[in-house]
Structures are given as structure tokens and as C-alpha cells.
Amino acid sequence: SNSKPPKAVLFMSHLLKESWNLAVNAIFPVFCVGCDMEGELLCALCQTSITFVNSRCPVCRAPSAFGRTCLSHRSMLDGCIAIASYAHPWVRELIHLWKFEYVRSVERVLLDLLMQYTRECAIPRIDWTIVPLPLSPFRFNERGFSQTHEFARLLSELTELPMEDDFLRHRRKMRRRQAEILSDEKRRTQKLYTYFFVNTKIVHVPRHVLLIDDVYTTGATMEGAARVLKEAGVKYVWGFVLARNK
């Protein structure tokens, strides 16, 4: 697991990044995705319109404590914590800029949202190990960074929870025979399950994993990853996402 930098170091690092961003913005100005005001990707006023979503079961969307999965569902994912709604147009736009236009300054907005969320909302008090959902090698080479790794790193620094960024890995491609035997109705979940594998070089298998992704939509990606983690010996797997679709 990664060692945590002291909070003073984290603050200074953030301050230096802010100074650099001010210099860059003077040459290449940015505009708020909400009101088009120059200076920030999301101004302080527009950020107040992004409210935190209520905790719901990730399968049936029924209200539940922290986002725990209802016991009646046969799911590998024990719960999922979501910060915002993907239906919010500015949240959608920020995620699009981050993932597909590689605008790294979105991470400053994300840090602000995370800081606010950890102050105002409770995360179950468990000895979590943060594990980012791995990006495919193709996507990583295309982007030059992993948004789930950056999200996980920020959360780890803010909460001081340990992070294992190499515990769960992504295969380069699914084996041909595996692709042929998948039934249509289970194809997406099973396909994603075969994409993931656990790094066997890591001796200590965490008991409680907080699996990090940017968006929760159908749940197939997290379900596939959670299955792999539990088969490796993890007892509980919860998701933690920036946004969910409902």
C-alpha cells in the first residue's frame, strides 16, 4: 500500500498546482461549464447547484443506509456510494471533459467536491482499502492517465485510507474461447468479469475494498470486478463513484 503524505505536504502541493494553473489560465483562459464565467471550470456559485444524491441500493435504487445493496439481491457488490447524479448536465460535462478531452484541471473541481462530501456525508467506518477500477491498456495509452486512479488517489489522501493501485488489473483482451461461450443475456457482465484479474504478487488480500470508478450506470463493470475480488478472498466490496445514472 502507498504511504500517505502529511496534510501540510498535501496542502503545499495543492497550492503549487493552483499557482501553476493561474499562470496557465492567463495564457489559455477557461470558462465555467455552468455560467461561462472566465476563470474556473466550475465557479463556486455553480458548484453549489450540485447537490449530493441520497443513498440508494445500486441494484433496485431503493433508499438504503450509505448505499448498501438490499439483501434480496444476488449481487457481488455489497453497496455503492455515489456523490452526484449523472443526470446533472454540468457533472456530465465535467466527466466528459476529463475522460474524453483529457482536461486534467477537472481534478481540481473533483477535489473540491470530495472535500465537501467527506465533510458533510458519512462513509461507513470500516478498515477500507481503496482500489481503483483499472483502465484498459489501450485507454491508458490513449489518455496518458487513469481517471479512476486519480480519483482514488484524491480520496485516499483526503480520508487517509490505504490504496492498492496495482491489486486489480485489466487484461489486454478477452480470450477468443471466452468470448464465444458467453450467452447474450449475461454477455456484458461476464465479458467484464473476464477482463479483470488480481495481481498475485500482492501477498496481503484486503478484507474490505472500496472500488473506485467515475460513473455507475448499469453496474456491470463493478459487478464483474467485485466477483474477481471476492474470488481472490476479499470479504466485502463496495463501490465509490463520482456520479450514478439515477
- List, as one string, the DSSP characters of 117-174: HHHHS----S-EEEEEPPPPHHHHHHHSS-HHHHHHHHHHHHHT--B-TTSEEE-SS-
Instruction: Return all residues near 218 (Cβ < 8 A) that are at least 6 apart.
Output: 188
Per-residue pLDDT tens over the stretch 172-183: 665 444 444 444
What's the pLDDT at 22? 60
15 backbone dihedrals φ, ψ, rounded to 5°: -65, -40
Q: Sign of the C-alpha dihedral, residues 119, 107, 165, 3? A: negative
Block means of pLDDT (10 residues each) for the chain, 246 residues, are 57 64 65 91 92 94 95 95 95 94 91 92 90 90 92 94 93 54 47 77 91 94 94 96 90
